[in-house]
């Protein structure tokens, strides 16, 4: 049970980090397009 919860937490964190990275990457791309 505990390991399952830990796995879910890990997946959630991974998903969150990927979303953040994608957001930053998109921001950079938009910024470069404006320049």
- pLDDT tens, 8-20? 999 999 999 999 9
Chain-centroid distance, C-alpha 16: 4
Distance CA 21, CA 5 (A): 24
Q: What is the pLDDT of residue 28?
A: 94
Q: Give the predicted TM-score (pTM) of the model.
A: 0.58
SS (H, E, C) 11-23: HHHHHHHHHHHHH
Distance CA 34, CA 14 (A): 30
Tokens representing residue 28 in the block: 């950079």
């Amino acid at each position: 049970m505990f390991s399952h919860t830990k796995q879910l937490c890990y997946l959630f964190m991974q998903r969150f980090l990927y979303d953040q990275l994608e957001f930053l990457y998109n921001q950079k791309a938009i910024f470069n397009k404006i320049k």
